[in-house]
């Protein structure tokens, strides 16, 4: 492990002077953690402190840190062929496209990019062009849900339903509409969960009708809303959305950027619901975060509409680095690891354990709701269980800080502008050991019990 301790202070000064951090205010009161190494579920900072990373970085290190095989796969490919654009082809690109189609358990053609945002941008353009070529040129609007996050580039941000991330950058691309998310915990009094889920799905249909179906290109949704605070829909919601899309000729884009690659306890999140998306977008866990790579999987029947249209069917989308050969080779190795180590099944097992250990906290006065999906968990903190008033930012940050001081990193998600940035999130590597889980559950439970 490299030792940076002699240059520690100098590095921190340079960090402050030169590095503009994402997702953190400039000159944040607490300096950033300078991470120097990772192994399994654990990371080490420049001061030698170790932390269990129960957020897998930014929801992506599915296979865990320190996988030599992944580095070797990229290294060998970099020596053989470091780069070539996918306007032509290369072997790891071909092999990975086939493998992804196999993982999707259905017939898809794969378009590569570098990030989740780009995968969604490509999906929107493909949906719009598809309708143009289908003699339906008016279909350009995309329906999404409030509280969803779909990326930081202008189109993906326009699809995002979190005002906190958008309001300083309006106006973004036009043609994006938002509807109520299936947030069952905050459903109106007197409604059952099922009634509320169906009402939320119904809003999609009403939006389609009010806006005119001939103007709607697609609906985009994550299998569960993750970054917006772990909002898990009921099966009836997902079934109804699929049925509505089909009936109105609207494409269904499923954003698997977080839920893909075993995270949900199945290969993809939508497999849990028996969904048949027209387009699936993916990133993060595709390489376990080791290199940037993303993909937009397009149902073959849609691709064929492009393929049968000669020059007019040309998808005019340039992406210089999309499908870099080393990233593809690494992704192939990553999928091999997930398969050989049974990490998809392991995620299901670990998710069930996490949920059952956290269930004991339901009676805690600060815990309003606990929601899980595969090996993802959200705990919604409230100041008052009866009114569901969200816990204060200080309370939420205090708990996260106390976990960190005891060697456990957890996340905070929701929506700041709407006042719901009160959901603690857990998304540990799928390779986590039983000992890691013992540490995670014991530490978090203890921190929560200390709030009493």
- Minimum distance of ligand PLP from residue 13's CB (angstroms): 28
Q: Which residue has the tokens 């969960």?
A: 193
Is residue 415 within the footprint of ligand PLP (CB under 6 A)?
A: no
Q: Give whichever of 23 and 30 is closer to ligand PLP, judged by the CB atom.
A: 23
Distance CA 232, CA 371 (A): 7
Helix ranges restricted to H, 184-318: 193-211, 235-247, 300-307
Stretch of 115-123, 163-171, 231-239, 424-432 contacting ligand PLP, by CB under 6 A: 115-123
- Minimum distance of ligand PLP from residue 183's CB (angstroms): 16
Distance CA 221, CA 175 (A): 16
- Minimum distance of ligand PLP from residue 58's CB (angstroms): 6
Distance CA 220, CA 281 (A): 10
Q: Which one of residues 117, 162, 422, 431 is an interface residue with ligand PLP (CB under 6 A)? A: 117
Q: Give whichever of 152 and 407 is closer to ligand PLP, judged by the CB atom.
A: 152
Site for ligand PLP (CB under 6 A): how many residues?
Answer: 15
Which parts of 205-234 interact with ligand PLP (CB under 6 A)?
222, 226-227
Q: Which one of residues 113, 115, 184, 443 is an interface residue with ligand PLP (CB under 6 A)? A: 115
Q: Give whichever of 143 and 258 is closer to ligand PLP, judged by the CB atom.
A: 258
Alpha carbons within 13 angstroms on the beta-carbon side of residue 354 total 31
Stretch of 133-141, 143-151, 364-372, 380-388 contacting ligand PLP, by CB under 6 A: 143-151
b/e string for 203-213 if b means 16 or more Cβ within 10 A? Answer: bbbebbeeeeb
Is residue 116 within the footprint of ligand PLP (CB under 6 A)?
A: yes
Stretch of 135-143, 168-176, 250-258, 427-435 contacting ligand PLP, by CB under 6 A: 250-258
Q: Which residue has the tokens 């097992």?
A: 349
Stretch of 48-56, 149-157, 173-181, 360-368 contacting ligand PLP, by CB under 6 A: 149-157
Which three-class secondary structure state does DSSP give residue 373?
strand
Residue 437: name the closest of 130, 40, 115 by CA.
40
- Minimum distance of ligand PLP from residue 224's CB (angstroms): 10
Strand partners, 296: 111, 281
Nearest residue (beta carbon) to ligand PLP: 116
Q: What stretch of H or E contains 378? A: strand 376-384
Which three-class secondary structure state does DSSP give residue 225?
strand
- Minimum distance of ligand PLP from residue 276's CB (angstroms): 20
Is residue 151 within the footprint of ligand PLP (CB under 6 A)?
A: yes
Is residue 149 within the footprint of ligand PLP (CB under 6 A)?
A: yes
Site pattern 432..451 for ligand PLP (x: CB under 6 A): --------------------
b/e string for 377-400 if b means 16 or more Cβ within 10 A? Answer: bbbbbbeeeeeeebbeeebbeebb
Residue 331: name the closest of 285, 262, 264, 281 by CA.
285
- Minimum distance of ligand PLP from residue 308's CB (angstroms): 31
- Asked if residue 204 lies in contact with residue 146, where contact means CB atoms within 8 angstroms, the answer is no
Cα-based distances in Å from 308 to 123, 134, 185, 284, 313: 19, 11, 47, 32, 7
- Minimum distance of ligand PLP from residue 118's CB (angstroms): 7
Is residue 159 within the footprint of ligand PLP (CB under 6 A)?
A: no
Q: Give whichever of 160 and 234 is closer to ligand PLP, judged by the CB atom.
A: 160
The reply to whether omega before 171 is within 30° of 0 (cis) is: yes
Distance CA 216, CA 58 (A): 32
Is residue 255 within the footprint of ligand PLP (CB under 6 A)?
A: yes
Is residue 113 within the footprint of ligand PLP (CB under 6 A)?
A: no
Q: What share of the chain is helix, strand, coil (3-state, %, to 5)?
A: 45, 20, 40
Stretch of 13-21, 110-118, 125-133, 336-344 contacting ligand PLP, by CB under 6 A: 110-118
Is residue 150 within the footprint of ligand PLP (CB under 6 A)?
A: yes
Is residue 428 within the footprint of ligand PLP (CB under 6 A)?
A: no
Q: What is the binding site for ligand PLP (CB under 6 A)?
A: 115-117, 120, 149-152, 222, 226-227, 255, 257-258, 283
């Amino acid at each position: 492990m490299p030792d940076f301790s002699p240059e520690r202070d100098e590095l921190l000064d340079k960090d402050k002077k030169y590095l503009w951090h994402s997702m953190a205010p400039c000159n944040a009161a607490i300096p950033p953690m300078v991470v120097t190494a990772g192994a399994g579920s654990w990371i080490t900072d420049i001061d030698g402190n170790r932390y269990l990373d129960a957020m897998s970085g930014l929801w992506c290190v599915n296979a865990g840190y320190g996988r030599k095989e992944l580095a070797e796969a990229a290294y060998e490919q970099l020596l053989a062929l470091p780069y070539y654009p996918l306007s032509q082809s290369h072997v790891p690109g071909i092999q990975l496209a086939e493998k992804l189609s196999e993982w999707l358990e259905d017939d898809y053609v794969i378009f590569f990019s570098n990030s989740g945002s780009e995968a969604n941008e490509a999906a929107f353009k493909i949906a719009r062009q598809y309708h143009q070529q289908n003699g339906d040129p008016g279909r350009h609007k995309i329906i999404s849900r409030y509280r969803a996050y779909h990326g930081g580039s202008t189109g993906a941000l326009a699809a995002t339903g979190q005002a906190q991330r958008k309001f300083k950058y309006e106006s973004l691309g036009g043609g994006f509409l938002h509807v109520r998310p299936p947030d069952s915990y905050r459903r109106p009094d007197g409604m059952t969960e099922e009634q509320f889920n169906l009402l939320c799905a119904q809003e999609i249909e009403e939006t389609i009708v009010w806006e005119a179906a001939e103007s709607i290109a697609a609906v985009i949704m994550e299998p569960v809303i993750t970054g917006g605070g772990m909002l898990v829909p009921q099966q009836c919601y997902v079934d109804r959305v699929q049925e509505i899309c089909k009936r109105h000729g609207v494409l269904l884009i499923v954003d698997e950027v977080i839920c893909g690659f075993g995270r949900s306890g199945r290969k993809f999140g939508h497999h849990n619901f028996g969904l048949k998306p027209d387009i699936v977008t993916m990133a993060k866990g595709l390489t376990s975060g080791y290199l940037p790579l993303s993909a937009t999987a397009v149902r073959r029947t849609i691709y064929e509409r492009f393929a049968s249209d000669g020059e007019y069917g040309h998808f005019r989308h340039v992406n210089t680095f999309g499908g870099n050969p080393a990233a593809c080779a690494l992704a192939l190795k990553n999928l091999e690891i997930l398969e050989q180590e049974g990490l998809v099944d392991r995620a299901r097992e670990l998710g069930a354990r996490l949920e059952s250990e956290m269930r004991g906290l339901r009676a805690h006065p600060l815990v309003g709701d606990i929601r899980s999906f595969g090996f993802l968990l959200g705990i919604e903190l409230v100041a008052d269980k009866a009114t569901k008033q969200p816990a204060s930012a200080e309370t939420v940050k205090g708990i996260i800080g106390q976990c960190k001081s005891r060697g456990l990193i957890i996340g905070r998600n929701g929506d700041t502008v709407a006042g719901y940035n009160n959901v603690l999130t857990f998304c540990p590597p799928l390779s986590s050991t039983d000992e890691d889980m013992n540490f995670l559950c014991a530490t978090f439970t203890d921190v929560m019990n200390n709030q009493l």
